[in-house]
Structure 1
Amino acid sequence: MISIPQTGPWRLADATVPIGMVSVAIAEKLGLKPTQDGCYRVSLDIDAKGLVEAVWPAEAAPETQLAVVRAGNAHVWTRMADLHTHIDKSQTWHRAPNRDGTFNGAKEAAKADRTAPWSHEDANARMEFALKCALAHGTRSIRTHLDSQKGRTQPTWEAFSDLRERWADRIALQPCASLGAAKLMDEYGDEVAALTAQYNGVLGPVLYHGPEAAAQVRRAFDLAERHDLPIDFHTDENLDPTSNGLSLIAEEAIHRNWQGNIVCGHCCSLSLKPADEAERIADRVAEAGIGVVALPMTNIYLLGRDAASTPVYRGLAPIHLLRAAGVPVAFGSDNCRDAFHPYGDHDLVEVFRETARIGHADMSWGPWADAVAAVPDRLIGLQDGNSLKPGAAADLVIFRGRSFSEVFSRLGAPRMIVVKGRALSEEEATPPAFSELDGITGLAPAE
Structure 2
Amino acid sequence: MVFEAEQYWLTNVRVPIALLREINFAVSGDLASVDLQIQAGRIAEIVSAGSATIEGMPVQNLRQGIVFPCFVDLHTHLDKGHTWGRAPNRSGSFDDALQTVSSDSQKNWNAEDVYRRMEFGLKCAYAHGTQAIRTHIDSFGEQAAISFGVFQTLRQKWADRMKLQAASLVSLDYYLTPEGEKLADLVAEVGGVLGGVTVVTPDLPQQLDRLFTLAADRHLDLDIHVDESGNPTDNALHQIAETAIRFRSAGRFSGQIVCGHCCSLAVQTAKEAAETIDLVRQAEIGIVSLPLCNLYLQDRNQNSALNIGSLEEAVLPTKTPRWRGVTLVHELKQAGVPVAFASDNCRDPFYAYGDHDGLEVFTQATRIAQLDAPYDTWSRTVTATPAALMKLPPIAEIYPGAAANLILFKARYYSELFSRPQVDRIVLREGKAIDSTLPDYAELDDLVYR
TM-score range, shorter chain: over 0.9
Q: In the alignment, what sits opposite 1:440?
A: 447
Distance of 1:423 and 1:432 partners within structure 2: 17
Unaligned residue ranges in structure 2 (runs of 5+): 302-316
Q: In the alignment, what sits opposite 1:6?
A: 4
Q: In the alignment, what sits opposite 1:304?
A: 299
Root-mean-square deviation (Å): 1.4
Q: In the alignment, what sits opposite 1:17?
A: 15
Of 8, 25, 34, which aligns to 2:28? 34
Distance of 1:365 and 1:153 partners within structure 2: 41
Q: In the alignment, what sits opposite 1:279?
A: 274
Of 416, 419, 423, which aligns to 1:409? 419
Distance of 1:212 and 1:298 partners within structure 2: 28
What is the CA distance between 1:84 and its match in structure 2?
A: 0.1
Q: Could you say what secondary structure the match of 1:60 adopts?
A: coil
Q: In the alignment, what sits opposite 1:248?
A: 239
Q: Could you say what secondary structure the match of 1:253 adopts?
A: helix
Q: In the alignment, what sits opposite 1:139?
A: 130
Distance of 1:228 and 1:73 partners within structure 2: 46
* Kept in 2: contact 1:4–1:423 (CA 8 A): no
Q: Could you say what secondary structure the match of 1:115 adopts?
A: helix
What is the CA distance between 1:65 and its match in structure 2?
A: 4.2
| Cα distance change of structure 1 residues 361 and 300 upon mapping to structure 2, 3 Å threshold | same
Deviation digits for residues 386-411 of structure 1, max 9, x if unmatched? 21011111110011211122222220
What is the CA distance between 1:412 and its match in structure 2?
A: 4.9
Q: In the alignment, what sits opposite 1:73?
A: 64
* Kept in 1: contact 2:25–2:47 (CA 8 A): no
Q: In the alignment, what sits opposite 2:314?
A: none
* Kept in 2: contact 1:21–1:387 (CA 8 A): yes
Which amino acid in structure 1 is aligned with residue 431 of structure 2? G
Q: Does 12-21 or 164-173 show the bigger shift?
A: 12-21
Distance of 1:44 and 1:412 partners within structure 2: 21
Q: Does 1:46 align with 2:22?
A: no
Of 85, 98, 122, which aligns to 2:113? 122
Q: In the alignment, what sits opposite 2:185?
A: 194
Q: In the alignment, what sits opposite 2:400?
A: 390
Which amino acid in structure 2 is aligned with residue 52 of structure 1? I
Q: Does 374-383 or 71-80 show the bigger shift?
A: 374-383
* Pairing of 1:20-419 with structure 2 (within 5 A): 20-23=18-21, 26-27=22-23, 30-35=24-29, 38-48=30-40, 50-257=41-248, 258-306=253-301, 307-365=317-375, 367-419=377-429
Q: Could you say what secondary structure the match of 2:65 adopts?
A: coil
* Kept in 1: contact 2:286–2:337 (CA 8 A): yes
Deviation digits for residues 72-101 of structure 1, max 9, x if unmatched? 100111101000000001000111111311
What is the CA distance between 1:63 and its match in structure 2?
A: 4.6
Distance of 1:380 and 1:175 partners within structure 2: 10
Which amino acid in structure 2 is aligned with residue 264 of structure 1? C
What is the CA distance between 1:179 and its match in structure 2?
A: 0.8
Output the TM-score relative to the length of structure 2.
Answer: 0.93
Distance of 1:174 and 1:366 partners within structure 2: 29
Q: In the alignment, what sits opposite 1:430?
A: 437
Which amino acid in structure 1 is aligned with residue 400 of structure 2? P
Distance of 2:111 and 2:179 partners within structure 1: 23
What is the CA distance between 1:319 and its match in structure 2?
A: 0.4
* Kept in 2: contact 1:400–1:413 (CA 8 A): no
Distance of 1:154 and 1:116 partners within structure 2: 16
* Kept in 1: contact 2:71–2:382 (CA 8 A): yes
Q: Could you say what secondary structure the match of 1:73 adopts?
A: strand
| Cα distance change of structure 1 residues 393 and 224 upon mapping to structure 2, 3 Å threshold | same
Unaligned residue ranges in structure 1 (runs of 5+): none
